[in-house]
Amino acid sequence: MLNNIGLPGLIVIAVVFIVLFGKGKVSSIMGEVGKGVTAFKKGISDGQASEEAKTEDKKDKASGP
């Protein structure tokens, strides 16, 4: 379904979105989306770092005494 939208369809959707919500509201929505994406990426990297720390702790305990 979304494979057939193309550039003209995206432009029409963007124009309708701007008309419905107004320029100021669209910019604030995009700012919130950007903050959400940033928080998501930070959460992913923190989760990976946590998993790596757990793996290193397990290796240290296994090769310990």
pTM score of the predicted model: 0.54
Q: Classify residue 1: in a domain, yes or no.
A: no
Closest Cα to residue 26, out of 15, 34, 18, 14?
18
Q: Classify residue 37: in a domain, yes or no.
A: yes
Q: Classify residue 59: in a domain, yes or no.
A: yes
Q: Which amino acid is at 33?
A: V
Task: State the residue range of the domain holding 48.
Answer: 23-65
In which band, very low, low, confident or very high, does the pLDDT at 32 lie, cut at 50, 70 and 90? very high
Q: Inform me whether the pLDDT recorded for 36 exceeds 70.
A: yes
Q: How far apart are alpha carbons 21 and 32 in whole angstroms? A: 15
Domains in the chain, number: 1
- Report in angstroms the alpha-carbon separations of 46 from 9, 22, 25, 35: 37, 36, 31, 16
Tokens at 36, concatenated: 């959400």
How large is the average pLDDT for residues 14-39? 88
Q: Classify residue 65: in a domain, yes or no.
A: yes
Q: Inform me whether the pLDDT recorded for 34 exceeds 90.
A: yes
